[in-house]
Amino acid sequence: MNFENNLAYAQALDSNDPLRELREEYLFPKQNGKPFIYLCGNSLGLQPKVAKEVLNNQLSNWENLAVEGWFEGESPWMFYHKELKKLMAPIVGASPEEVCPMNTLTVNLHLLMVSFYKPTAKKFKIIMESGAFPSDQYAIESQVRFRGFNPADAIIEVKPREGEYTLRTEDIVNSIVENGDEIALVLFGGINYFTGQWFDMPAITKAGHSIGAVVGFDLAHAAGNVPVQLHDWDIDFACWCSYKYQNAGPGGIGGIFVHQKHFSDSSLNRFAGWWGYKEKERFKMEKGFIPELGADGWQVSCTQVMPMALYHASLKLFKKAGFMTALRNKSITLTEYLFYVIDQVNIKLGKEQYKIITPRNENDRGAQVSIIAKENGKQIFDALVAENILGDWREPNVIRLSPVPMYNSFEDVFRTGKLLLNLSKAEK
């Protein structure tokens, strides 16, 4: 696409954007009475305008129904999660039976590893990407220790090649195959939080299964960002948070996926709780755990009504957008435009002040561009914030900018590039 680096062109792209009205569904933070250009949806999505209404509705149910709210009202709490499952499934390419809203991301990762990390004396290792988000690192380390192994022996990290920032799929696959006799679990992020690289999930899954390993993904930065097909790709399990690209609020409820091929596997261990018990017999209060069929059988605690209501409200906006196809089409162009304006900044500065480390290939990234600021990075980032452009900063020198198709515009991207250029000139 032949882009232009001017305001009129960016506004023309916005006028032809079929999703432009979705921007009006969200509340933008303000500074000095002026709304931010918000490019931090990779950390926390914006608040849907309807959020207060849905919370107030549930507060009214609590007020007027009290304990009877579990079984009465328009959406009884006992079965409320089922309404969300139908909306979650298209976002991650699954059937409603394969997904469930519950707990939070790392709690769910632990619960799923209890079931799907099944080490033996010989086949006990976990392979993951180097530089995964710390929560994943800590969860995996603790699970390995819990099973009686030393993380230094049991965890294999695949690193980028010397001088590179992202992983090559061939290196991931080769590492899986070369260590196949010892690997019990392949566990990657769908998208790396730091670089924004979208891993080749089908290729990783195929390689993991070829050596007899279970394959799972942390989709914190992928769910609601890129179109994944968890069922068709034959992925064993996955989990995600809802507060980034899915805009369900800080600390929002998490989600899980379990492939239907595992539903009848009685050999799977799990840390059970009452809410995961067979639904029709739950109130018999009997000993001996019998799981509900499907992902619901991994539930432990009762429905978190308020966080679930916020997630429900956000999921309805994904439905309004047509789920992932339309959002992805806009995301590709929006992110390409951000690449373009950053390139233009470097050209006008006569040097590579901003090195893009996110893959440019649309199949290898989502709605995030990570740039290394080679000079005065923190000062420039702070100046962006002072001028009402909010991305986020990662030590030692990376600025992450995420143009989210649900609520960001091409004008947002143009104005960000213009300010980056002006600030870089001022820092000389």
276: left (phi over 0), alpha (psi -120 to 50) or beta: alpha
Locate tokens 């951000």: which residue? 338
Angle between helices 105-116 and 134-146 in degrees, nearest 10: 40
pLDDT one-digit tens code per residue, 358-372:
999 999 999 999 999
Query: 3-class SS at 40?
Result: strand
The reported pLDDT for the residue numbered 24 is: 98
Cis previous bond, 35, omega within 30: no
Distance CA 301, CA 330 (A): 38
Residue 286: its H or E element: none
CA 375 to chain centre: 30
Distance CA 317, CA 242 (A): 13
Using 50, 70 and 90 to split pLDDT, how confident is the model at 425?
Answer: confident
Cis previous bond, 227, omega within 30: no
Contacts of 332 (CB under 8 A, 6+ apart): 362
Q: What is the CATH number of domain 55-321?
A: 3.40.640.10
- Per the document, the length of the chain is 428
Residue 295: its H or E element: none
Query: 3-class SS at 274?
Result: helix
pLDDT one-digit tens code per residue, 47-65:
999 999 999 999 999 999 9
Q: Tokens representing 78?
A: 């006992």
pLDDT one-digit tens code per residue, 9-44:
999 999 999 999 999 999 999 999 999 999 999 999
Distance CA 97, CA 218 (A): 19
pLDDT one-digit tens code per residue, 122-150:
999 999 999 999 999 999 999 999 999 99
Query: 3-class SS at 35?
Result: strand
Please give the model's pTM, rounded to 2 decimal places: 0.96
pLDDT one-digit tens code per residue, 338-358:
999 999 999 999 999 999 999
Does residue 113 have a pLDDT over 90?
A: yes
3-state helix, strand, coil in the chain (%, to 5): 45, 15, 40
As a whole number, mean pLDDT of residues 405-418 equals 98
**Nearest of 376, 380, 294, 364 to residue 94 by alpha carbon:** 294
Does residue 427 have a pLDDT over 80?
A: no
Q: Pairing between strand 183-189 and 214-218?
A: parallel
Distance CA 413, CA 17 (A): 14
Amino acid, single-letter form, for residue 271: F
DSSP state of 244: S
User: In a 10 Å sphere around its CB, with 0-12 CB exposed, 13-18 middle and 19+ buried, how is residue 259 labelled?
Assistant: buried
Does residue 382 have a pLDDT over 70?
A: yes
287: left (phi over 0), alpha (psi -120 to 50) or beta: beta
Instruction: Indicate the average pLDDT of the chain.
Output: 97
Q: What is the CATH number of domain 7-35+323-426?
A: 3.90.1150.10
Query: 3-class SS at 33?
Result: coil
| Domain locations in the chain as residue ranges | 7-35+323-426, 55-321
Locate tokens 């990234």: which residue? 365
pLDDT one-digit tens code per residue, 265-301:
989 999 999 999 999 999 999 999 999 999 999 999 9
Distance CA 185, CA 34 (A): 48
CB 406 within 8 A of CB 6: no
The reported pLDDT for the residue numbered 428 is: 56
pLDDT one-digit tens code per residue, 86-101:
999 999 999 999 999 9
Using 50, 70 and 90 to split pLDDT, how confident is the model at 426?
Answer: confident
Distance CA 10, CA 412 (A): 9
Distance CA 208, CA 211 (A): 6
